[in-house]
Amino acid sequence: MPENPLIQQRKVVFCETLQSYPLARLLVQCSSCNRFFAACCPDGSFGDDWALPHDDDHPTCHHSKLVYTDGACTNNGSPHAKAGLGITIGGEHTFEDLELKYSWSIPVDGTVDAAGPRTSQRAELLAALEGLKKLEKLDKLREASGYEDKEHTQLAMLQPHKQFDRATYIVVTDSEYVVKGITEWFPTWRRRGWRTSYGKEPTNLDLFMKLDEYVTTLEDDKVAVGFWHIPRELNRNADALAKRATGA
């Protein structure tokens, strides 16, 4: 598993210095590329001299890429339920003739989830999985196309790291179910032979297994992956995208 002091057992844990900052200040957006990132610690963990962007000479730290995710479901669990996924990794961004899409509103149908019933919890898990896939797909497209924003590269050169370093992906969600499920409950279920403390198979185990498998694949590819639980009010964009996907 890749080493990253921000990620501990797949949870996001900020350094002591940044733990005193308001949570909203740790969620930052680059004014050049419009992507979302986590603030970096100024304690030398990554070799940086700053944690947060504060002027043109000290741009946003680009080590940890964020994907905000959420799931929604109308008529939860019923035969008439409709579920949707909301995913965003930044504001819309256009460079020359290349238009980059950074937000998605995805209805859940058989191609997205063929196995289970339509529920809000399944939608939240699916959103986390699809969000990681969006991050990886965009990075691979950038690498394959040789895309480079020269102005942004000049700013990024002020920092001792590559502009589009694939070191860390972070799923940002207001779903405690997703974060605790994949970071705490899943390892316990594994030790118990995929059983809860009541001896039953965990609900949505199929999706937890898919999420773990995908995260493990990224980790094997030297990408650290973390999960970050935030208040609902800080996840409004993904929430709106998820609700839109349900048709509500």
Question: Under a CB-based contact definition with an 8 Å cutoff, are residues 223 and 65 in contact?
Answer: no
What's the confidence (pLDDT) of residue 145? 66
Place of tokens 């290349």: 98
What's the confidence (pLDDT) of residue 98? 57
Question: Measuring CA to CA, how many Å separate 145 from each of 60, 70, 106, 138?
Answer: 24, 30, 26, 10
Q: With DSSP H G I counted as helix, E B as strand and the rest as coil, what are the percentages for the chain, rounded to 5?
A: 35, 20, 45
Question: Under a CB-based contact definition with an 8 Å cutoff, are residues 230 and 69 in contact?
Answer: no
**Rounded to whole angstroms, how far apart are CA atoms 52 and 69?**
23
Question: Under a CB-based contact definition with an 8 Å cutoff, are residues 124 and 241 in contact?
Answer: no
Per-residue pLDDT of the chain (248 residues; tens, 9 = 90+): 666 788 999 999 988 888 888 998 899 888 878 899 998 876 544 434 445 554 554 556 778 899 999 999 999 988 899 999 999 999 876 555 556 689 999 999 999 999 889 999 999 999 999 999 999 998 887 777 665 555 454 444 444 444 444 579 999 999 999 999 999 999 999 999 999 999 999 999 999 999 999 999 999 999 999 999 999 999 999 999 999 999 87
Residue 98 backbone phi and psi in degrees, to 5? -100, 115
Angle at 211 between CA 187 and CA 137, to 5 degrees: 145
CATH class given for the domain over 7-246: alpha beta
H or E segment to which residue 143 belongs: helix 120-145
Query: Two tokens at 55?
Result: 């002027």
Q: Where along the chain do its domains lie?
A: 7-246
**Rounded to whole angstroms, how far apart are CA atoms 221 and 242?**
29
Q: Which of 96, 97, 159, 168 is nearest to 139 (CA)?
A: 168
H or E segment to which residue 115 belongs: none
Question: Under a CB-based contact definition with an 8 Å cutoff, are residues 10 and 226 in contact?
Answer: yes
Q: First vs last Cα of the chain: how many Å apart?
A: 41
Specify the amino acid at residue 247: G
3-state secondary structure of 185: helix
In eight-state DSSP terms, residue 40 is: P
